[in-house]
Amino acid sequence: MLKSLIAAAVAGALVASSTAALAKTPSLNDKEYFSQPSLDVVVFSNWYNGLFGDSKVSGVELIHFGERTATNGDVRLSATPEQWDPIPTFVERVVDQESGTISATLSYPEYDFTYTITASPIDNGVELTLSSPKPLPAELEGKAGFNMEFLPSVYMETSFLADGKPGAFPLYPTGVKEVIGAHEPLPLAQGQHLVLAPEDTGKRVSIESETLPLALYDGRAKAQNGWYVVRGLLPAGKAGTLAKWKLTASTNDNWLRDPMIGHSQVGYLPDQTKRAVIELDARAPLNGTAQLLKINPDGSSTVVKQAKPVKQDNYTRYQYAAFDFSDVTTPGVYQLRYGATTTAAFPIDATVLDKAWHPTLDHYFPVQMDHMLINEAYRVWHGASHLDDALQAPVNHEHFDLYAQGPTTDTPYQPGEHIPGLNVGGWYDAGDYDIRTQTQYRTVRTLVQVWEEFGISRDTTLVDYDRKYVDIHVPDGKPDLLQQIEHGTLALLAQYKAVGHAIPGIIVSDLSQYTHLGDGLTMTDNLIYNPDMADTESDGINSGVFDDRWAFTSKSTPLNYGSMAALAAASRALADYKPALAKESIETAIAAWEEESTHAPDMFQVGNTTGGGLEEEQLKAAVELLITTKDKQYQRAINKLLPYIESEFGRNAILAIRAMPYMDSAYRERIRSAAESYKPTLDAATSKNPFGVVITEYGWAGNGTILQMAMTQYYLHTAFPDLYDSELIYRSLNYLYGTHPDSDISFVSNVGTVSKKVAYGMNRADFSFISGAIVPGVLILKPDLPENMEDWPFLWGENEYVINVGGAYLFTVNAALQLAGK
C-alpha cells in the first residue's frame, strides 16, 4: 500500500512537472490579441453590432482549440442580459506592446460611470483587472457586474467545480428566469474559483476572482439564445480596482488544427473546374500529399490522382493550399484526403446540379409563406397566421428591428386603427415573422428573372387561397415558381390598395411577440383588435387582445420605386397565369411612377426598411417598366441615370444589361465600355482570398453577396462573352457547397452530402433546419477568425435564413445548368 502511495505521489509530481514545463504565457501578437498554441484571448477587437445590442461578438473572448467558446467579457447590468438590455458605450482601446497589455475604456454615460478593463498575460491565460476612477454609482449597486459568457453547446453535458464543489451544466435550462426589477435568477453555483469542464482537456477553463465571489448562471432560462454566464458583482463605495480575475484555460503546445479540405458537397460536373482548397493551421508544415479517391462498388477505394497541393496566400489566421483535379472527369463517387483528414463522399457526374435547387423551391419558399397554413405530410409547419393584419403604427415611434414611423401616418388611418386588406400574401422575412417590404420586392423581382431566363415549370406544391392552405409534396397542376411570384405580388399590391403606396413593412408591436419561436399562428388570435373589448372578449371577428401586428407606413420614394419595379416585373410573369392580377400590377406600377413624378422625393429613411438609394431604386423601376411597356419615357429615365450606372457598375450591371435590348446603340456602347472598365475591379476583388469570391468582412456573412455577384456574372457573360467567362458562377456555388473557410459544410440545408442542420430559422429553438434554405455563411470576426457555428443556431449573422437569398440561389443554380447546356 505504501509503495502504491509513493508511486502515485511520484507520478503526480512528474505530471505536475510536465504540466509546468509545458505552461506558456501567451504573447501579444502583431494582430493585437494574446496567443499561444491552442489558446487565443481577444480583448475588445470586436464590439457590439451597430444594428442590434448584442450579437455575442464583443469584449473579452476566448478562442480555445480553434473554436470561439466565450464572449462578452464586459460590465453588464443584469445577470443574464439579452439582446435588448443596456450595453455600455465604447470609449477607446489601447494596445501597449511594450508592457504587453490591452486596455479598453467604456462607460454608461447615463449613470456617469466610466471604467477600464485591462488584460495582462499570465501562464495559459490572462489576468483581467477592472478599474474605475470613481466608486460605482448608487443606482448601479447590486446591478453592475463583470460578466463573461460561455457557449452552451460546448459546455452542456460537462461538469464544473465551484470552490471544489461539483456540479453539472444542464442540457436544458430549469428554474426561475431573470426578470429585471422583479426577480433574480438562481445561480447554478457560487464561489471565488470556478472551473468549467475540469474533466475535459479540450474545454477546461478556470476563473479565479481575487476578492469578490463569482456566480454561474444559465442564460437560456431567459432566452433560448442565452449562454452560460460567469458574473461577479462590482463592489459598492470603492474606487480603483473593482474586480480582478485570473482567466486560464487548458493548453497543448503541440496542438495543431486538423486540416480542412474545402470542396463541393454537391459534387462537380465532369467538365467544370474542380479545385479543393486545403485550410491548415498557421504552424502546420505544408509537406503532405493530397489525394483523390474513387469509391468502388465493393467499398474499396482507388487513388486516381495525387499531388502536392499548391501553396496559396494566407488568409485570416490560416494558411492555404490548392489541389486541382479538373482532369478527372469519369462519373463516380469520390473522396479527398490530406493528412489525417478525409472528406465525405461526393459525386462527379453530369447530373449533380439538376436537383440542387429543388429543396429551395419545393420546401423553403412554401414554409416561409405568411397568411397560409403550411402542411407537409404528417406535419404542420405553421397555421394561417396573422389574419388580423394590421394596425396603423403610432407616429414618432422608433421600433425595434430597424422600423420606425415618422411624424404622420401618411395614410387615411389613425394610429392603432385597423388597416384592412393587408392579410394576404408575403413571406416571413427571415428567422422572424415580419413582412419587410424591401425583402419582398427583391425576392419577387429575382423570381421573375428566374422565370424569364429559365422558364422552370416544376410543380410539387398545392396552393389553395380559398382555404388558405398549402400542401408540400402535392402537385396542383400549376408551376410552383409562378405561385410564389403571385404570393409576393399579392402582398405588395395589397399595400397600394390599402394606403396608396408601398410601406416599410408589418411587424409585431412588442418584444414578447418578436422573440416568439415556432408556429406563427400562435403569435396572435387572428382576430382584429378592438380596444373597446376586454381581453377576454371576442365575437369571432374582433377581440380585445392586443396582439395584432403594426403596419409602418411612412412614405419613402425609394421604397415606392422598388415595389413598383417588382409589380411591373411580376405583371409579365403572371400575364398568362393570372391575367387580372397581372393587369392590376402593371397599372398600379405605372400609376405609382406617375405619382412620384408630381413631387419631390419623400426621403424618410430608417435602418434597412425604407428602400435603398434613390437612384438605385428608380433604376429598378425604370428598367422593369421599360421591359414591360416599351414606353420611351422609361428609356429617357434610364439614360438620365447612365452616370450613376457607370459609377456603380458592379451594383447596376444586371439592370443595365437587361435594359440593353430596349435602348439605343449609344447606350449599349456605354454599357460595354463600363463593363470593360469593371473587369479589373472584379478580378482584383475576387483574388483577395484563396476561394476566388468576395468574402465580406462585417456583421453579416456574405453568401447573399456571393450569389448576387454570381447572378451579375451570368448577365455579364451572356452579354459580353468575349470579356467575361462563366467561372465565377461555378466558384460561387462551390463556395456555398463547402469550398469556404472554417469548414467544408454546405450552406444550403439538405443540399450536398453534409449540409447545415442547425440554423437560425423559425424552428431554431429545436436546433433544426428548413430544407433548401441558405444561411449567411462564414462571418469574419476581427481580427482574423472565420466562423460559422454548426452546433449553435442563434448567431443570426452566420446562420439566419433570409428569403431573398433563396431567390438568388434558384437563379444561380439554373444559370449554371443553362451554361452547362442543361
pLDDT of residue 215: 98
In three-state secondary structure terms, 668 is helix
Residue in 469, 461, 465, 464 with CA at minimum distance from that of residue 373:
469
The pLDDT confidence band at residue 512, using thresholds 50, 70 and 90, is: confident
What per-residue confidence (pLDDT) applies to 339?
95
Label residue 50 by pLDDT band (50, 70, 90): low
Residue 183 phi, psi (nearest 5): -155, 150
CA 731 to CA 693: how far, in whole Å? Answer: 7
**558 with 613: CB under 8 angstroms?**
yes
- Beta carbons within 8 Å of 417's beta carbon, 6+ residues apart: 391, 392
Helix/strand/coil (H, E, C) string of 378-411? CEEEECCCCCCCCEECCCCEECCCCCEECCCCCC
Q: Which pLDDT value is given to residue 699?
A: 84
pLDDT-above-90 percentage for the chain: 93
- Euclidean distance between CA atoms 548 and 251, whole angstroms: 53
- Surface-to-core class of residue 217, CB atoms within 10 Å of its CB (0-12 exposed, 13-18 middle, 19+ buried): buried
CA distances for 23 relative to 33, 125, 208, 684, angstroms: 18, 10, 18, 44
**In this predicted structure, what is the pLDDT of residue 49?**
64
What is the C-alpha to C-alpha distance for residues 485 and 464, in angstroms, rounded to an integer? 15
CATH 2.70.98-classified regions of the chain = 29-249
Higher pLDDT, 12 or 756: 756
Average pLDDT over every residue of 161-189: 93
Q: What is residue 784's predicted lDDT score, i.e. its pLDDT? A: 97
Q: What does each C-alpha distance from 160 to 190, 195, 216 come to in angstroms?
A: 11, 6, 10
Instruction: Tell me what the mean pLDDT of segment 312-337 comes to.
Output: 98
- 139-153 confidence digits (pLDDT tens): 999 999 999 999 999
User: Residue 664, Cβ neighbours under 10 Å: how many?
Assistant: 10
Which amino acid type is present at position 266? V
Q: Where in the chain is the domain with CATH 1.50.10.10?
A: 384-611
Query: Strands 318-324 and 332-338, how do they pair?
Result: unpaired
> How many CA atoms does the CB half-sphere of 465 hold within 13 Å?
9
Backbone torsions φ then ψ of 70, nearest 5 degrees: -145, 150
Task: Give the integer Cα–Cα distance in Å for 641 and 625.
Answer: 15
Q: Assign residue 38 a region (left: φ > 0; alpha: ψ between -120 and 50; beta: otherwise).
A: left
The reported pLDDT for the residue numbered 19 is 37
pLDDT category at 51 given cuts 50, 70, 90 is low
> Which segment of 7-11, 380-384, 668-672 scores lowest on mean pLDDT?
7-11
The yes-or-no verdict on residue 2 having pLDDT over 70 is no
pTM of the model: 0.95
53 pLDDT exceeds 80?
no
User: Strands 125-132 and 145-150: what pairing?
Assistant: unpaired
Does the domain at residues 384-611 carry the CATH identifier 1.50.10.10?
yes
Question: In this predicted structure, what is the pLDDT of residue 555?
Answer: 98
Name beta bridge partners: 800: 760
Distances, alpha carbon 364 to alpha carbons 235, 369, 443, 689, in Å: 51, 9, 13, 31
Average pLDDT, integer, range 305-322: 98
Query: Above 60 in pLDDT, residue 21?
Result: no
Three-state DSSP class for residue 503:
coil
Neighbour tally for 791: CB within 10 Å: 13
What are the tens digits of pLDDT across the range 436-481?
A: 999 999 999 999 999 999 999 999 999 999 999 999 999 999 999 9
Other C-beta atoms lying within 10 Å of the C-beta of residue 13: 10
Q: Are strands 469-472 and 373-376 parallel, antiparallel or unpaired?
A: parallel
Fold that domain 29-249 belongs to in CATH: Beta-galactosidase; Chain A, domain 5 (2.70.98)
What tens digit of pLDDT does each residue of 73-127 get?
999 999 999 988 999 999 999 999 999 999 999 999 999 999 999 999 999 999 9
* pLDDT tens-place string over residues 350-365: 999 999 999 999 999 9
What is the rounded average pLDDT for all residues in the chain? Answer: 95
pLDDT at 28: 97
pLDDT of residue 3 exceeding 70, the answer is: no
Q: For 393-405, how does the pLDDT look when each residue is reduced to its tens digit (9 = 90+)?
A: 999 999 999 999 9
How does residue 292 score in pLDDT terms, banded at 50, 70 and 90? very high
The H-assigned helical ranges of 261-404 are 358-359, 365-367
**What integer pLDDT is reported at residue 48 of this predicted model?**
76
Residue 52 pLDDT:
66
**Domain at 262-348, CATH homologous superfamily:** Immunoglobulins (2.60.40.10)
The counts of H helices and E strands in the chain are 18, 41
What does the alpha-carbon distance between residue 429 and residue 440 come to, in Å, rounded to a whole number?
8
Cβ atoms of residues 361 and 487 within 8 Å? no
How many other C-beta atoms are found inside a 10 Å radius of the C-beta of residue 92?
A: 10
Q: How far apart are CA 657 and CA 672, in angstroms?
A: 9
- Here the cell at position 501 is 403606396
Per-residue model confidence (pLDDT) at position 329: 98
Q: What is the reported pLDDT for 822?
A: 84
| Choice among 172-186, 260-274, 334-348, 716-730 with the minimum mean pLDDT | 172-186
* Residue extent(s) of CATH 2.60.40.10 domains in the chain: 262-348
Cis peptide before 407 (omega within 30 of 0): no
How far apart are the C-alpha atoms of 14 and 601, rounded to whole Å?
A: 78
SS3 208: strand
